[in-house]
Amino acid sequence: MLCQIQNKFGGSVQKRSGVNAIRYRLRNKDGMINLVNAVNGNIRNSVRLTQYFKICRILDVKVIHPIELTKDNAWFMGFFDADGTINISNQNDRPQLFVSISNKNYWDVKMLKDFFGGNIYFDSSGYGGFKWSIVNEVDHTKWYEYNKLSCSRSNKGKRNFLIKDFYDLYNRKAYKQDPELKLLNKAWEEFKLTWNR
C-alpha cells in the first residue's frame, strides 16, 4: 500500500529498525503539495483534520472541508485499511465473521453505522474507544459489494473478497465435522488456509 503511495507522490518506504513496522517518508515540498491536494476534502478523522489544517497553512494550500460521503467514496475503505479488522472467531461451535473499525471518537465511527449498519460499542481494552462492528450476512454483503467498488489497499483487504465464499460454506454447514459432509469439510479446511494465508 505504501509503495503505491510512493509511486504516485515520491518519497521513501523503509522498514523501521527494532519494531515490526514500515515507514513512508516524503520530504519533497512539491510532492507534499500534490499529496495534500489529493486528499483535500476527504480528511474526516477529528484529530487528523486539525493536523491537516496546520499542514495546509504551512504549504499555503486552501483547505476543502470534508465533502459529503456517499457509498461511491473510497474513504470508508481507507478508514478500514488504517483502523479496521476482519476476522473469524468461534461462537457456540460456529464460525462468526466480523468486520470492525475502532476509533477514539464516536462520530468518526458513526458514519460507518449510517452507511453499512451494524453496531457501535465502547471498547475499554487498551486506551479505550469506540468500535463499529458488523456481524451478520446482510451487513457483510453490503460491505462486500462496497469493497468491489472501492477495494482495500492493505493486506487485510484480501479477506474482504472471501466474504462471499465464507457464507457459501457457512450456509451449507461446511464447518460441522460430519462424515456426511466430508467434501464440504474439506472445502472448509481449504477456505481456512486461504483465509489465514
pLDDT digit string, tens, across residues 66-109: 888 888 889 999 999 989 999 999 988 899 999 999 998 898 89
Query: Are residues 81 and 51 part of one domain?
Result: no
Region 7-12 average pLDDT: 93
Query: Are residues 127 and 90 part of one domain?
Result: yes
Q: Reduced to 3 states, what is the DSSP secondary structure of residue 40?
A: coil
Residues 6+ apart with CB under 8 A from 149: 71, 72
Query: Are residues 97 and 173 part of one domain?
Result: yes
Query: Are residues 190 and 107 part of one domain?
Result: yes
Asked if residue 89 is part of any domain, the answer here is yes
Asked if residue 172 is part of any domain, the answer here is yes
Q: Structure pTM?
A: 0.83
Q: Which residue has the cell 462424515?
A: 179
- Indicate if the pLDDT at residue 126 is higher than 80: no
10 Å Cβ neighbour count for 174?
Answer: 21
The pLDDT of residue 1: 83
Rounded Cα gap, residues 70 and 13, in angstroms: 32
Asked if residue 29 is part of any domain, the answer here is yes
Domain boundary among 16, 34, 59: 59
Residues 6+ apart with CB under 8 A from 99: 80, 84, 85, 86, 133, 134, 140, 143, 160
Query: Are residues 177 and 90 part of one domain?
Result: yes
Query: Are residues 91 and 138 part of one domain?
Result: yes
Asked if residue 87 is part of any domain, the answer here is yes
Structural domain of 143: 75-196
Asked if residue 115 is part of any domain, the answer here is yes
Number of domains in the chain: 2
Residues 6+ apart with CB under 8 A from 93: none
Query: Are residues 96 and 179 part of one domain?
Result: yes
Q: Are strands 94-103 and 129-134 parallel, antiparallel or unpaired?
A: antiparallel
Residue 165 maps to which CATH number? Answer: 3.10.28.10
Query: Are residues 180 and 85 part of one domain?
Result: yes
The pLDDT of residue 134: 97
The pLDDT of residue 84: 94
Rounded Cα gap, residues 11 and 56, in angstroms: 19
Q: Reduced to 3 states, what is the DSSP secondary structure of residue 131?
A: strand
Region 9-32 average pLDDT: 92
Going across the sheet that includes 94-103, the strands are: 84-91, 94-103, 129-134, 119-123
Rounded Cα gap, residues 47 and 45, in angstroms: 6
Query: Are residues 81 and 55 part of one domain?
Result: no
Cell numbers that stand for 96 in this block: 462468526
Residue 48 pLDDT grade (very low, low, confident, very high; cuts 50, 70, 90) = confident
